[in-house]
Structure 1
C-alpha cells in the first residue's frame, strides 16, 4: 500500500483525499493545512493524521508520496522539498506563475531525477483520452486542426481572481495542455485576443473574462481555443479534431441523455453538468490511479513538470499577444 499525504485541505485536496481513500493500492495517512481545523475535518473523515505544517509530512519517513493541493505560490517550494526527501509527488497546476521560477524548478527536479507528476486532470477524462488515442492511431488521417471550447458557468470570487495570475495562467492553462497533447507537436506561434465583456473591473489587475487563442505548429497544424468565465447554460467543455480523413468530436456531458419533444419545445435536454467537480469526477479518479501506478513503479509519470512548464509558457505568450495585439513566437 502506498502511503500518501495530502497537503492542502481545500476543494481540490478533498477530491484527492476521497480518491486516495477508496483506492485499493493506497492509503491516506495524513493531511496538512495551516488552517488546522480544515486539516482535522478532512483527516477525520478517513482516519488520518492532521498537522498544520506540511514540512512535517514531507520529512516523515513513513510517508511515501504527497499530493500538493495548495495555493500556486507554494507549489515550487513544496515540490522541491518533497523531491529532495525522495517522495513521489502529484502537484496541482500550474507549477508557478513566474516562468523563470518554474523553469528553474523543472531543472532542479530533473537533476534530482524526482518522480513528480503535474495534475492536468483533463487528460484522464475517458472521452478526451479516446479522442487523443484516435488521433494518434490515424483514425482521421493527418491532423489539421484542433478546436477547444472551455467556458465556466460563472466567475470565481473576485479575491480568487485577483491572485490567480490571470485567465491565461489560471483557466486557459488546461486548454494549452490539451492543445499540446492533442496536436502532438509544440506550437511555435501564439495569437490571442482578450476582452472584458462581463466584468470591466477586472482591469484593476489586468485580467479578462473572454478570450480567443490561435496557435500554429511548425508543420502548420492549427489550434483554436475559446474561453469565457461565464456561460449561463452551464459548464461548456468541447473538443474537436479535424483531419484529412475525418473529424472527431467530444461533446458536453449531461446527467442523462433523455430528449423531450412537446408542443412547447423540441429537443429539450437535461442541463449541462454544473461545474468541473461533476464533469471531471471520473477524470480525477483516473488521474489519481495513474499517479499511484507510476509511484509504485508500474508505469512512467504520464504528465511531467516539463508539460507544466510548456503550458505556462504558452499562457505567457498568449498574455503578451493579448497585450500587444500581435502574434508571439514561442521561444
Structure 2
C-alpha cells in the first residue's frame, strides 16, 4: 500500500523528513505547506513535490493524502492534530505535542475518537545504540535495573529568539531524555527533582531560561535516574547513556567520525564526537519514518505513541515545577495510580 504524505512545515526538520521519506518506496510525498513558500519553490521542484501551499488545510482536504507530518512551530501542533484527526489522516508530529499537558490530552482524545495513528518524533528511540541498550535491559542481561544515567549536551546554545519560544530547557531539550528514560527503563517516572542555573550565556537567563541542569528521577519500579544537560559542550554533541543493574551495566557512548584511537609516547587521542544532531542521529531519523510508514501501510502500532509524548511532557512540567519550587515533585498521588 502506498502512503501519500503531506508535510506541514518546511523548515530544517521538515525538509529532512522529506529527504528521508523519499528513500521509502511505499511513500509518496505529494504536498508541502509552509507560511512562506517563495524560497521553497526550487527545493520543492527538485524533490518532486506536486503541490506547494501556504494553507495547511489544503493538505487536510486532499482525499489522496492519508498521512500528515506536523513540523510547524510547537504552538500549532495540538490544533493541527485535532484537525488532521477529524480529516481521517494518520499523523506524525514533532515533539513536543504542545507546551500544555491539558492541550495534549485534548488532542489525543480527538486522535482516539478518529481511530487514526499518531507517532511523536522522539527520534532517539530509533538510534541503534540506544535500541541495543534497551534490548539488553529487556533481555535481563544486566539483571534488575537500578540506575540510569543520561548525558545530553549540545555543542552550542541556540539563539535567544529561539530560547524565548522553545518552552524552556526541560520542555525543549531534556524532554528527549525524559522519553529515553521511560523507554529504556520500561517504567513510569513517579517523582522528579530538578536543579538548574545559567553558566553559559546570561542572555539565556534574561530570556527566562537556564542553560545547565541536573534532574533526578524516581521510577515506579524502584529504580533511580540522573540526567544532565548543558547548552554548550565545546568538544561536540555529547550523547551518552548508561544503565546499571544488579548483574552488570550497559553503556552507549558518543558516535565519532571513526573509531580509530592513536597511541604514542606523548598522548592517546581519538576523534571528537559528531558535532551536530543531524549527523549524530542520521539513521534514527530515517528509521523513525520507515516505522511510521509501516504502521500506516500495514496497520501496525506506532513505536512512539501520543501517550509517550504526553508522559514526557508531564515529566518536563514536573521538572520545571521542581526547579521553581526547589523541592521534589510527585507525578502521582499514590502508587496505585501509576500507569505501567
For normalisation by structure 1, the TM-score amounts to: 0.97
Deviations 1:276-313 (A, max 9, x none): 10000000000000000001125211111111111011
> Does 2:190 align with 1:188?
yes
Match of 1:212 in 2: 214
Match of 1:3 in 2: 4
Structure 1 residue corresponding to 2:133, chosen from 125, 131, 134: 131
Structure 1 residue corresponding to 2:99, chosen from 78, 97, 100: 97
The Cα shift of 1:263 comes to 4.4
Match of 2:281 in 1: 280
Checking the alignment, whether the CA contact within 8 Å between 2:192 and 2:329 is kept in structure 1 is: yes
Distance in 1, Cα, partners of 2:4 & 2:109: 27
Match of 1:294 in 2: 295
Match of 1:65 in 2: 67
Match of 1:12 in 2: 13
- Tell me which moved more, 37-46 or 311-320: 37-46
Match of 2:45 in 1: 44
Distance in 2, Cα, partners of 1:46 & 1:64: 19
Equivalent runs, 1:239-258 vs 2, <5 Å: 239-258=241-260
Match of 2:154 in 1: 152
Corresponding residue SS for 2:181: helix
The unaligned stretches of length 5 or more in structure 1 are none
Distance in 1, Cα, partners of 2:238 & 2:80: 33
Distance in 2, Cα, partners of 1:145 & 1:199: 31
Match of 2:305 in 1: 304
Checking the alignment, whether the CA contact within 8 Å between 2:164 and 2:208 is kept in structure 1 is: no
**What's the RMSD between the two structures over aligned residues?**
1.2
Aligned length: 330
For normalisation by structure 2, the TM-score amounts to: 0.94
- Tell me which moved more, 96-105 or 315-324: 96-105
Checking the alignment, whether the CA contact within 8 Å between 1:9 and 1:38 is kept in structure 2 is: no
The unaligned stretches of length 5 or more in structure 2 are 333-340
> Does 2:195 align with 1:197?
no
Deviations 1:90-122 (A, max 9, x none): 000001011211122122222222211111000
